[in-house]
Amino acid sequence: MGGFRERVARKVAVIGSGSWGTAATGLVGVHADEVVLWSFEPVVADGINETRHNPHQLTSYEVMPCVRATTSLAEAVGGADAILLVVPSAHLRRICEQLSPYVDSTTPVLVLTKGVERDTGCLMVDVVEQTLGGASRIAALSGPNHAEEISEGTISAAVVAAEDPEVARYFQQLVVSTAFRTYVSEDVRGVEVCAAVKNVIALACGIASALGAGDNTLAALMTRGLAEMTRVAVAMGADPLTCMGLAGMGDLVVTCTSHHSRNRTFGEAFASGETLEAYQARTGMIVEGAEAARSVLQLARARDVEVPITLAVHQILYEGRPLADAVDMLLGRSPRDEFYGVAPGARSGEDHAE
């Protein structure tokens, strides 16, 4: 995409006002004159404009002076030099379809949503391409990035993947800071698969932990989860080494172990008797791992990939499998080659930080 290096970001649109969308305004706000945050909820938009705080998520975080909020998609993206998509995976297609009339065909788009679309098997970048067009201008960002720590300026890192290296470099520069290190990759599918599967593994870790699993068990579960993630990625044509980087192992570790992780904490809550609906209502957050347990399993079955942990989580959440069987289900498979189904990678998935 010629001329990308010369592009500036006077206005950046952030679509989605959850915790990650709110934190992302601080990343791009350093480099843009104006950041417009779109919210579905008028109370959130009004709260941000009136108090500089999101009344529902990251309530203690004060957004930058350059940030304003709106409930109008047309207002948010009109004249934007770049767009960040940070909405739940189940709503991404609908939101993009609504955005389509207002988005210029050359405007670069960065996808921060993580997941696989149910029934279609589409990755999030596929959904964006199908609804907004222009695969070459689309990038995905992923990594071990809890919004709570991003908003506090804690040192973090992420990988930006795009088919066009100039697009990846453009977004790399748009979000980079001394506290937020960004690396680039051309392995979009690998980054996207890792982002989806790790949420399922984190949910499994939460269930296992609540049922009394020790550190050894959880370490084994995460390691087997990494192998599972890699099998799916390879089946999608990705570089297996991407799964060993920030979007894979890095995000897997933090999502499986942190108290900030909604997937890990939901797994704990579910094992203690709380339903998915009750948890999401209580926290105001979407549990992407619960949705991914369905969509990743569909994707794996369509490509004949073994995903025993994802299958176990699906059976526990949606098929009434007793929790008493959970740990045995999550780990109880006949031993075989540790990385069966994974071919050696030919290249590294990530490039250096700027």
Same domain, 235 and 307: yes
188-210 vs 124-132: helix crossing angle, rounded to 10: 130
Distance of CA 304 to the CA centre of its chain: 24
- List all residues 6 or more positions away from 305 whose beta carbon is below 8 Å from its beta carbon: 231, 232, 235, 299, 341
Same domain, 179 and 199: no
Examine the fold and report which residue of 152, 186, 220 is the final residue of a domain before the chain moves on. 186
Alpha helix ranges (H) inside 11-132: 19-29, 42-51, 73-77, 92-99, 124-132
Q: What is the pTM of this model?
A: 0.92
Same domain, 230 and 323: yes
- Give the separation between CA 239 and CA 183, rounded to whole angstroms: 16
Q: Which CATH number does the domain housing residue 264 bear?
A: 1.10.1040.10
Query: Is there a domain that residue 113 lies in?
Result: yes
**Residue 333 DSSP code:** S
Distance of CA 142 to the CA centre of its chain: 6
Same domain, 212 and 322: yes
Q: How far is CA 14 from CA 11, 150, 244, 297, 310, in A?
A: 10, 16, 29, 30, 31
Query: Is there a domain that residue 336 lies in?
Result: no
Query: Is there a domain that residue 353 lies in?
Result: no
Active site residues: 198
pLDDT reported for residue 346: 41
Residues pairing with 161 in the sheet: 140, 185
Domain assignment of residue 320, given as a range: 190-331
Q: Which CATH number does the domain housing residue 74 bear?
A: 3.40.50.720
- Give the separation between CA 273 and CA 336, rounded to whole angstroms: 34
- Give the separation between CA 48 and CA 186, rounded to whole angstroms: 36
Residues pairing with 147 in the sheet: none
Same domain, 199 and 136: no
Q: What is the mean pLDDT of each run of 10 residues along the chain (354 residues)?
A: 61 97 97 97 98 97 98 98 97 98 96 96 97 96 95 96 97 96 97 97 96 93 95 96 96 95 96 96 93 97 95 95 82 61 53 53
- List all residues 6 or more positions away from 320 whose beta carbon is below 8 Å from its beta carbon: none
Query: Is there a domain that residue 132 lies in?
Result: yes
**Is 200 within 8 Å of 160 (Cβ atoms)?**
no
The amino acid at residue 115 is G
Same domain, 245 and 309: yes
Query: Is there a domain that residue 264 lies in?
Result: yes
**Residue 123 DSSP code:** B
- List all residues 6 or more positions away from 291 whose beta carbon is below 8 Å from its beta carbon: 88, 89, 90, 115, 118
Same domain, 116 and 245: no
Same domain, 129 and 258: no
What is the tally of structural domains in the chain? 2
Same domain, 63 and 179: yes
- Give the separation between CA 251 and CA 338, rounded to whole angstroms: 21
The H or E element containing residue 15 is strand 11-15
Query: Is there a domain that residue 350 lies in?
Result: no
Same domain, 59 and 93: yes
Same domain, 324 and 224: yes
The Cβ-side half-sphere exposure at 279, using a 13 Å CA radius, reads 21
- Give the separation between CA 273 and CA 62, rounded to whole angstroms: 35
The H or E element containing residue 39 is none
**Terminal CA-to-CA distance of the chain, rounded, Å?**
20
Query: Is there a domain that residue 345 lies in?
Result: no
Query: Is there a domain that residue 339 lies in?
Result: no
- Tens-digit pLDDT profile for residues 288-337: 999 999 999 999 999 999 999 999 999 999 999 998 887 777 776 555 66
pLDDT reported for residue 174: 97
Same domain, 115 and 254: no
pLDDT reported for residue 1: 43
**Is 299 within 8 Å of 121 (Cβ atoms)?**
yes
The mean pLDDT of the chain is 92
